[in-house]
Chains A and B, each alone.
Chain A
């Protein structure tokens, strides 16, 4: 069984209102364990909408989504949150770090609502910062970091809860090619540890990267093609 199965999923934004918008229309796909899947397609084709659904951040209007065999569509919010924090690590286009907090505090953020002790939590975070080679900046505020450093903090935050699946939305939109390469190198390491990676992007640099094992093309809310490499 695939890690993620999406079955005839539709998503309508603002249903019943004047600005009703069908962002996804009957999309079906599956992503295997260990895949590095890339969602491509022009802007407005529904990539972000799709990975929000896969990442349990919103519910589809129709259809089924299974994560590790569990149907998540009908789960109460509490359980969705739980799945989000146990299985997923998110990297957002704008990083969405909290600018007035330090690097370490940002990375600790996903662990606050858990029952783990503060010490364990801090050790985990420091280990990851070390792995990403930004432990030297752990006490700096985000607003004082360069774009590349912020990117690494964002990745560190996504990894701190040891997720199975990493979801990234346009991660290289604000990066130059050197940083984009660095980003792919880090993802490669994660993938080697067995993590599944899903990236929504229209950046050809990622689309053509050798790491990619599956390319899913979207257009106007529909699946255009799904290619395995």
Chain B
């Protein structure tokens, strides 16, 4: 025990001797871990959160497609679909996109549908009367609606329409509502100039989740021009977001792997004459092969463990206390309206252990293994010049 403490001591002394190199490696290494861990924390938290809140999505969405494109659906389709056994409710959804030339941002306009139930994530209330609206925090900030209490949008007949803002979505719900403008269903129809009797799509309620597939098939039979999208498909989409195959993950992981390889290569080839001589000296004055290897082991562990732990902590703070602002800037792409990732922290111990294994073990190995040969040779080599 004392012996290992002393060897750790010497390992630190050795690292400090090459102070700039050591700190450069430590910094680069920590940064790599931080990047990887930030991606992991963010995606894991996002997935955990969406897994939960997406349980609220409609059981089945029915779209109509014409010539392979999404089209408005006649409201009277609802009658036959609603009559299918197992369907407990069906309601038309009215929604669409709005490009705001002023701010160069895209909004999502959505009909509120149904009665204005009180929502915890909404300050104020959903629109009930014509000319009322509830807006997301992103839109409100962009247009100053929170202060003015109103929002002007240009409708399909190129006429500016003034909406009273009766509700503001709380910024905690940004991930869902950032670009939303909720109007009454009537106002949506009016605003976009939908042909009478048509809606964007249907939301179908099916209490028995095992029946969703069959009902979807029946609908497809009944109306071959429809495309039913089941709840499973909706929720699975978000399992796929940031999947490992996606571009950024690949880029990040490739970069990390290349960084590791460069480091390992530097280690493996970089046992300089000086280092070899030092190992010889240590052996000649009474260090065992095992002691020399222990020294190298500790050198590797000190760097990699410090880098791993610091990187993890930094990533956690970055993602959950600073809303992953660095990563968000990368993910943002060309979105004008981009939500802050105010995620509920999720900490997956398994991921952390995996990260630990893959950062610490290769580095320690690449420190110890090249030393092996030098450590097992007879120390008499130091006797000659």
Question: CB distance A85 to B380 under 8 Å?
Answer: no
B288 within 8 A of A: yes
B281 within 8 A of A: yes
Question: CB distance B281 to A98 under 8 Å?
Answer: yes
Residue of B nearest to A100 (CB): B17
Question: CB distance B284 to A90 under 8 Å?
Answer: yes
B3 within 8 A of A: yes
* Neighbouring B residues of A179 by C-beta, 8 Å: none
* Neighbouring A residues of B281 by C-beta, 8 Å: 96, 98, 109
**Interface residues of B, count at CB 8 A:** 29
Task: Give the CA-CA distance A58 to B382 in the complex, in Å.
Answer: 11
A22 within 8 A of B: no
Question: CB distance A112 to B10 under 8 Å?
Answer: yes
Question: CB distance A81 to B385 under 8 Å?
Answer: no
Min CB gap B375→A, angstroms: 11
The 8 A CB mask of B255-292 against A (1 = contact, 0 = none) is 00000000000000000000001100111111111110
B373 within 8 A of A: no
Between B278, B282, B378, B383, the greatest number of chain A beta carbons within 10 A of the residue's beta carbon is seen for B383
B2 within 8 A of A: yes
B82 within 8 A of A: no
Min CB gap B288→A, angstroms: 5
B13 within 8 A of A: yes
Size bracket of the A interface = 20 to 34
Question: CB distance A94 to B2 under 8 Å?
Answer: no
Question: CB distance B383 to A81 under 8 Å?
Answer: no
* Neighbouring B residues of A185 by C-beta, 8 Å: none
Q: Of A48, A85, A109, which one neighbours B384 at CB under 8 angstroms?
A: A48
* Neighbouring B residues of A113 by C-beta, 8 Å: 3, 6-7, 286-288, 291
Interface residues of B in 341-385 (CB under 8 A from A): 378-380, 382-385
Question: CB distance B287 to A115 under 8 Å?
Answer: no
Question: CB distance B288 to A169 under 8 Å?
Answer: no
With A52-B380, A92-B382, A157-B285 as contacts: A117 and B17 at CB distance below 8 Å: no
B9 within 8 A of A: yes
Question: CB distance A85 to B285 under 8 Å?
Answer: yes
Question: CB distance A48 to B286 under 8 Å?
Answer: no
A30 within 8 A of B: no
Interface residues of B in 54-100 (CB under 8 A from A): none
With A57-B284, A81-B286, A84-B286 as contacts: A115 and B383 at CB distance below 8 Å: no
Task: Give the CA-CA distance A58 to B379 in the complex, in Å.
Answer: 7
Task: Give the CA-CA distance A12 to B370 in the complex, in Å.
Answer: 27
* Neighbouring A residues of B287 by C-beta, 8 Å: 81, 85, 110, 112-113
Question: CB distance B6 to A90 under 8 Å?
Answer: no
A101 within 8 A of B: yes
Min CB gap A45→B, angstroms: 14
* Neighbouring A residues of B10 by C-beta, 8 Å: 109, 112
Q: Of B278, B282, B379, B385, which one neighbours A57 at CB under 8 angstroms?
A: B379
* Neighbouring A residues of B283 by C-beta, 8 Å: 81
* Neighbouring A residues of B5 by C-beta, 8 Å: 118
Question: CB distance A98 to B278 under 8 Å?
Answer: yes
Min CB gap A101→B, angstroms: 7
The 8 A CB mask of A68-101 against B (1 = contact, 0 = none) is 0000000001100100110000101110101011
Between B2, B278, B286, the greatest number of chain A beta carbons within 10 A of the residue's beta carbon is seen for B286
A161 within 8 A of B: yes
Question: CB distance A112 to B6 under 8 Å?
Answer: yes
Task: Give the CA-CA distance A104 to B3 in the complex, in Å.
Answer: 18
Question: CB distance A117 to B2 under 8 Å?
Answer: yes
* Neighbouring B residues of A48 by C-beta, 8 Å: 383-384
Between A96, A101, A114, A157, the greatest number of chain B beta carbons within 10 A of the residue's beta carbon is seen for A96
A135 within 8 A of B: no
Contacts from A to B (Cβ < 8 Å): 48, 51-52, 57-59, 77-78, 81, 84-85, 90, 92-94, 96, 98, 100-101, 105, 109-118, 121, 157, 161, 169
18 more contacts with CB within 8 A, not counting A48-B383, A96-B382, A112-B9, are A57-B378, A57-B380, A57-B383, A77-B289, A81-B283, A81-B287, A85-B285, A85-B287, A90-B284, A93-B383, A96-B281, A98-B281, A111-B6, A113-B7, A113-B287, A116-B2, A118-B2, A169-B383
Contacts from B to A (Cβ < 8 Å): 2-3, 5-7, 9-10, 13, 17, 277-278, 281-291, 378-380, 382-385
Q: List 14 A-B contacts (CB under 8 A).
A: A57-B383, A77-B289, A81-B289, A84-B284, A85-B286, A92-B383, A93-B383, A94-B385, A96-B277, A112-B6, A112-B7, A112-B287, A113-B6, A114-B3
5 closest pairs, A vs B, by CB?
A85-B286, A52-B380, A58-B380, A57-B380, A113-B291
